[in-house]
A and B are shown apart, each in its own frame.
Chain A
Amino acid sequence: MVELEKIPHLDEISHHGVFQGVRPKNTATFRQRTVAHNKLMPSLEEAIRRTGLKDGMTISFHHHFRNGDHVLNMVVDTLARMGYKNLTLAASSLAAVHAPLIEHIKAGVITHIETSGLRGELAEQVSRGLMDCPVVFRSHGGRAAAISSGDLHIDVAFLGAPSCDPYGNANGYSRDDDDSIACGSLGYARTDAKYADNVIVITSNVVNYPNAPWAIPEDDVDYIVKVDDIGDPKGIMSGATRYTKNPKELLIAETAANVIEAAGYLYDGFSMQMGSGGASLAAARFLREKMLAQHIHCRFALGGITGQIAAMHEEGLIDRILDVQSFDVDAALSLKKNHFHHQISASYYASPLASAAVDQLDFVILSALEIDTDFNVNVLTGSDGVIRGAIGGHPDTAEGASLSVVVGPLTRGRIPTIIDHVNTVVTPGATVDVVVTDQGVAVNPNRPEVAQKLKKAGIRVYTIQQLKAKAEALVGKPDPIRYLDRIVGVVMYRDNTILDVIRQIDETEA
């Protein structure tokens, strides 16, 4: 018999009084309980009603299904049918498949968009002035920070998942029978799930509890909706990414690998990230040869992960993989079968408010559409001024990595890559260390020690102005793009400051 008054310092001990016995024991089988108590909703409409979503609120989506995504269009169609207006759509990114949003924007269902990127018809229309409120573009790390700090408050997150159990443990693949739809990591969705007020998981594959290991834990999930179709597997994941055979991309890749070695960032236990673009991906192949020859290994590879990185992990060259997004089927399979291939959230990956993994990078290899003589990089707008890309983790990794290497051909057809001023600043030049083109290498004057090391290793270093002059000698100087005054996009830096704006293109006859 517990006598409370006899316990000394009772007021200093947190307690709920004396034990009064337990609830009646539940003797139903676990299978029966799952049927009686779960988060499965009879319909998407019912789930939406239960969240209390109202006009003017913010909804969010992830882009792990890329151009095979069927979730976003299905949800916004449903919201339109239910009569919602004036919603903010905050997606981790948008693809060409999301062109049906144009009609919902015209009808006032969606009045504001936040995203990392825009492509296809929607991007074209936005560049032509589709929306009154400018689209806000954020990097993956910047978005994660904005979500966690409340700068970007999400009312309802609609998260597609290739597998989910009745309590909400969701994953980007399935360890049960049906693995026909898989996207690998659900890294971007994890941040939405953690911070959104309401989370609806939309899945075509409800598996038995517990769906372990999971990307999104059940305590972050409020409702689950089972649908027949969340996406097209072919659009979600390309088959195995192959190394490029383009000799120019291979030349750039090999030079980038030589630059990294010469700059002193290839040592036993280094860390790295590389993009999925032809040249940046191919650099992995040349780094691999150097690692084998020098008997060194990589402590961790970060980022969007490809099959090539997974293969180097399986070969024993990379100890750990931190995977925020799996780029291809082989990467997704590796996540499933390799214990040290680990999925991470967008915040863990790149948030400037967290002690993010990007801050542990020795080097990153990044692509570029345009680079200017101040080393600013554009990956968002094309040479015609139209939005056609995504910020992704570009500024996050460029700032975080000790050595950021931007690769690209000096010219693309008749378009120079190195110019006086980029159309849109996505990554500030102060964070870009080395530019590698097929026709030469330039080092940011901020990093004279890197330039010295490259020269010592026999790599010819040009000034960025010299590279620009080479490009102009080949293809001339393009006419400036004509814009209207109206601003259609705002580019946020990682810290939620406004880095640049995108204007409506001027298509009137000159």
Chain B
Amino acid sequence: MEKRYVKDRLRRSMMFVPGNNPGMISDARIYGADSIMLDLEDSVAFTEKDTARLLVHNALKTIDFGKKEVVVRINDLASGLGVEDLEAIIPAGVHVVRLPKTDSAQDVIDCEREIARIEQKNGIPVGSVGMMAAIESANGVLNAREIATASDRLIGVALGAEDYVTDLKTTRADGIELLFARCMILNAARAAGIAALDTVFSNVNDDEGFLAEATLIKKLGFDGKSVINPRQIAPLHKCLQPSQKDLDKAYAVMDAIAEAQARGSGVASLKGKMIDRPVVIRAQRLIALAEADDPVEEE
């Protein structure tokens, strides 16, 4: 079976692109985001839903997105639009379907059933298309663990903050209002072995605020963050980039491991300290992150 998606890959930035804007869709790949998310949901007015669906269908078929992960955010199934969205994007070649407003594991299961049906109908191997779930309510946050393990197709869970803070009867502020949700979602993702993705920062002119939020989610342990303006991508990647000091240490760890293996020893040490397995994993992750920003994209 040939999967269209890679479960474990770099997802520092997921760029939102309104599905009814052809100029932005055709330019989406040039800004260096790790994932491109073509939106059929909240950035598209109700009267534009058909236009956007048709446009995204054709974009998936004709536009070269290079090595980017291409995600489409569908409308939720309860809206009555979600299935039509799936019918349009799955045959056209979407990598990952982003399910909005996920309140329970059942939402994921229902969506997966539709995806499998459409795959089958179109002669696409069942399981080709990946999924991710956006959690945007108190219910969803409390069910995060079940949501994150509801399907093998899930590549990650994401926080959708705007709806969530409304549900909580608060507003977006300095981030304290999202702390519980972020921690819940992050732990659910890690327990399930999938990616944890943070919400958008909507004031595109507040560079400092954006950087503070990016720093916070890096500290918490998120893989990355949704962005609504291409200008946010470079600062985000820079923020998530490991420091030279950490990187030097990571390379030293990997060198010590290689040296130990060459000696035929199972135990490696650095500066007199034994290197534990978590240390190795962290070093590998750091190096992968640092080497991800190679500007030369092969075509």
Within 8 A of A (CB), among B201-246: 229-231, 234
Which listed residue (B30, B230, B231, B296) contacts A439, Cβ 8 A?
Answer: B30
Report whether A458 and B64 are in contact in the complex, using a CB–CB cutoff of 8 Å.
no
The segment out of A57-65, A161-169, A244-252 that lies at the interface is A244-252
Number of cross-chain contacts by CB at 8 Å: 28
Within 8 A of B (CB), among A110-160: none
Interface residues on A, range: 10 to 19
Known A247-B31, A247-B229, A250-B231; contact A474-B26, beta-carbon cutoff 8 A: yes
How far does the alpha carbon of A405 sit from the alpha carbon of B60 in the complex, in Å?
A: 34
Interface string of A264-287 (1 = CB under 8 A from B): 000000000000000000000000
Within 8 A of B (CB), among A441-469: 458-460
Report whether A248 and B296 are in contact in the complex, using a CB–CB cutoff of 8 Å.
no
- The binding surface of chain B is classed by DSSP as helix
Report whether A458 and B27 are in contact in the complex, using a CB–CB cutoff of 8 Å.
no
Look across to chain B and name the residue whose beta carbon is closest to the beta carbon of A412. Answer: B23
How far does the alpha carbon of A254 sit from the alpha carbon of B230 in the complex, in Å?
A: 13
Report whether A458 and B30 are in contact in the complex, using a CB–CB cutoff of 8 Å.
no
Within 8 A of A (CB), among B20-44: 23, 26-27, 30-31
Look across to chain B and name the residue whose beta carbon is closest to the beta carbon of A455. Answer: B296
Report whether A460 and B295 are in contact in the complex, using a CB–CB cutoff of 8 Å.
yes
**Interface residue? A413 (CB, 8 A):** yes
Which listed residue (A248, A459, A460) contacts B27, Cβ 8 A?
Answer: A248
**Interface residue? A359 (CB, 8 A):** no
* Residues of chain A lying within 8 A (CB to CB) of residue B230: 247-248, 250-251
Interface string of A64-104 (1 = CB under 8 A from B): 00000000000000000000000000000000000000000
Known A251-B31, A438-B27; contact A460-B231, beta-carbon cutoff 8 A: no
* Residues of chain B lying within 8 A (CB to CB) of residue A439: 30
How far does the alpha carbon of A481 sit from the alpha carbon of B201 in the complex, in Å?
A: 46
Look across to chain B and name the residue whose beta carbon is closest to the beta carbon of A258. Answer: B295
Report whether A413 and B294 are in contact in the complex, using a CB–CB cutoff of 8 Å.
no
How far does the alpha carbon of A138 sit from the alpha carbon of B295 in the complex, in Å?
A: 40
**Interface residue? B297 (CB, 8 A):** yes
**Min CB–CB distance A243 → chain B (angstroms):** 11
Interface string of A228-266 (1 = CB under 8 A from B): 000000000000000001011011001000000000000
Known A247-B231, A251-B230, A473-B64; contact A460-B297, beta-carbon cutoff 8 A: yes
Interface string of B266-299 (1 = CB under 8 A from A): 0000000000000000000000000000111100
Report whether A458 and B31 are in contact in the complex, using a CB–CB cutoff of 8 Å.
no
* Residues of chain A lying within 8 A (CB to CB) of residue B64: 473
Tell me which of B23, B26, B30, B295 has the highest count of chain A C-beta atoms within 10 A of its own C-beta: B30
How far does the alpha carbon of A494 sit from the alpha carbon of B285 in the complex, in Å?
A: 57
* Residues of chain B lying within 8 A (CB to CB) of residue A254: 234
Report whether A413 and B295 are in contact in the complex, using a CB–CB cutoff of 8 Å.
no
Within 8 A of B (CB), among A401-436: 413
How far does the alpha carbon of A404 sit from the alpha carbon of B21 in the complex, in Å?
A: 34
Report whether A438 and B231 are in contact in the complex, using a CB–CB cutoff of 8 Å.
no
Report whether B296 and A251 are in contact in the complex, using a CB–CB cutoff of 8 Å.
no
Look across to chain B and name the residue whose beta carbon is closest to the beta carbon of A459. Answer: B295
* Residues of chain B lying within 8 A (CB to CB) of residue A245: 231
Report whether B229 and A458 are in contact in the complex, using a CB–CB cutoff of 8 Å.
no
Report whether B231 and A458 are in contact in the complex, using a CB–CB cutoff of 8 Å.
no
Known A247-B31, A247-B229; contact A458-B26, beta-carbon cutoff 8 A: no
How far does the alpha carbon of A413 sit from the alpha carbon of B64 in the complex, in Å?
A: 18
Look across to chain B and name the residue whose beta carbon is closest to the beta carbon of A461. Answer: B296
**Min CB–CB distance A475 → chain B (angstroms):** 9
How far does the alpha carbon of A439 sit from the alpha carbon of B26 in the complex, in Å?
A: 11
How far does the alpha carbon of A245 sit from the alpha carbon of B295 in the complex, in Å?
A: 22
**Min CB–CB distance A107 → chain B (angstroms):** 45
Within 8 A of B (CB), among A159-217: none
* Residues of chain B lying within 8 A (CB to CB) of residue A473: 64
Q: 9 shortest A-B CB distances, which residue pairs?
A: A247-B230, A460-B296, A458-B295, A438-B30, A247-B231, A458-B296, A474-B26, A439-B30, A248-B27
A-B contact pairs, 13 of them (CB 8 A): A247-B229, A247-B231, A248-B27, A250-B230, A251-B230, A254-B234, A438-B27, A439-B30, A458-B294, A458-B295, A459-B295, A459-B296, A460-B295
A→B interface (CB under 8 Å): 245, 247-248, 250-251, 254, 413, 438-439, 458-460, 473-474
